[in-house]
Structure 1
Amino acid sequence: MKENARILFIGDSITEWGRNEDPEGMGIGYVRIIHDYLMTKFPSKQLEIINKGIGGNRATDLQDRWEKDVLSLNPDYVSVSIGINDVWRQLDNPDMAQVYPEQFEEILTGLLEKTNAQLIVMEPTVIDEDVHSEGNQKLIPYVEIVRSLAKKFDAILVPTHQDFIEYLKTGTTYKLTTDGVHMNSAGNMLMATSWLKACESLLK
């Protein structure tokens, strides 16, 4: 990692997670854990970590604010976590205009194309802590799109969905979310460790 680096996280409420109430703007989610790890791991580096998560965001919302919240800040690293609400709205608000996989891919492709930074793309996590839930089945094409775009743009892929599914397959009853989507402290820890492991090559 560069001696002076600006690392920007963008996404929905899972990324936001209390940042507006936090004087440092990190929140209490996975971004906070990553921030604290990097600050203590690299005390001599000048790292600036920015949380640009906004609750309820879908890919269309990122498209609307990408110039202001990403490009204008000229980050060195951009970590993108999106897709949960693109699927969740199909389940809890089916009458609204939906973001289906084809549009999701088109929007993300356009955003990544215009971003001059090291890209880090995170798989959408889970919808309900059940491998076979309708939400998790509907997430599959979105996860596959993220994986494909990681290859296309030589981005670091954070296998968040895979890691959550593997956790659920163990049969443990210990929860990772408060409501099937939003993370508790254990879920945030899993997201953060997944990110840190995937970014290991950067963290030197």
Structure 2
Amino acid sequence: MIFEDMDRIVFAGDSVTDMGSAQPVGEGLFENLGTGYVRIIDNLLAACYPERKIRVTNSGISGNTSRDLLARFQRDVVDLKPDWVSICIGINDVWRQFDSPAIPDEQVMPEEYEQNVEQMILQVKGKVKGIFLLSPYYMEPNREDAMRSRMDEYVAVCARLAQKHGCIFVDFQQMYEDYCKIRHSTFIAWDRVHPNRVGATLMARAFLEKCEFDYNHGNGEVH
């Protein structure tokens, strides 16, 4: 497993990262980490690797676009001196184009999105052990759907930036597309965006698959 004892992982993002976490930065006991994929990742790290003390920090804020996250990235990510950084942003960049079409100043187009995410990467590149780039998504398997088609452009930006800068890419869009071939998206999200506990578990599993995570590590024995 790539995370070592006393590593700190900072998860930056919007509402799907936030999920009710303490603001502006959540960590520690109770619901400070929120109730989404960040909480489940922390649970699994502690359950399967009890000998490694790993500090998990939730820097997600509901409603954020990449523009919003970039504006607070220094305070809520860089200044925390993380060992690992995870960035999951872009859903609101796309969503505002469809739920608020008459308010263009709240919309972030693909060109600006790419610039914003790349600036975040560059702020921590070379200062941390690794950067995770988690794709935005829309739980709609029909790729001809207008919002799904637009979202795919932003997913492609993430894939391109991850390759360019050596980030670990986690394709949540593909993961949800595969799952929705079996179960309808309403099973995991009423609005096709905000996951319930099943959706959050899928996200946590997709993330940990990129971390050389072993669910059977130690078979419950502390090393």
Normalised by the length of structure 2, the TM-score is: 0.85
Q: Distance in 2 between matches of 1:110 and 1:69?
A: 15
Whether 2:167 is the aligned partner of 1:155: answer yes
* Equivalent residue in structure 2 for 1:113, among 110, 118, 122: 122
Larger displacement relative to structure 2 (184-193 or 48-57)? 184-193
CA deviation string 1:142-171 (max 9, x = no partner): 000100111111111111111111222x25
* Counterparts in 2 of 1:197 and 1:56: CA distance versus 1, 3 Å: same
Q: CA RMSD in A?
A: 2.1
In the TM superposition, 1:15-54 aligns within 5 A as 15-20=17-22, 23-54=30-61
| Aligned residues between the structures | 203
* Equivalent residue in structure 2 for 1:184, among 190, 196, 201: 196
Q: Distance in 2 between matches of 1:171 and 1:120?
A: 27
The residue identity in structure 2 corresponding to 1:34 is: I
Note the C-alpha offset of 1:41: 1.6
Q: Distance in 2 between matches of 1:82 and 1:202?
A: 27
* Counterparts in 2 of 1:110 and 1:154: CA distance versus 1, 3 Å: same
Q: Distance in 1 between matches of 2:22 and 2:141?
A: 27
Q: Distance in 2 between matches of 1:130 and 1:141?
A: 15
In the TM superposition, 1:45-194 aligns within 5 A as 45-96=52-103, 97=105, 98-115=107-124, 116-117=127-128, 118-126=130-138, 128=140, 130-168=142-180, 170-173=181-184, 175-194=187-206
* Equivalent residue in structure 1 for 2:207, among 180, 195, 200: 195
Q: Distance in 2 between matches of 1:32 and 1:25?
A: 9
Larger displacement relative to structure 2 (95-104 or 129-138)? 129-138
Gaps of 5+ in 2: 24-28, 218-223
Q: State the percentage of identical aligned residues.
A: 34
Matched residue, 1:12:
14
Gaps of 5+ in 1: none
Larger radius of gyration: 2
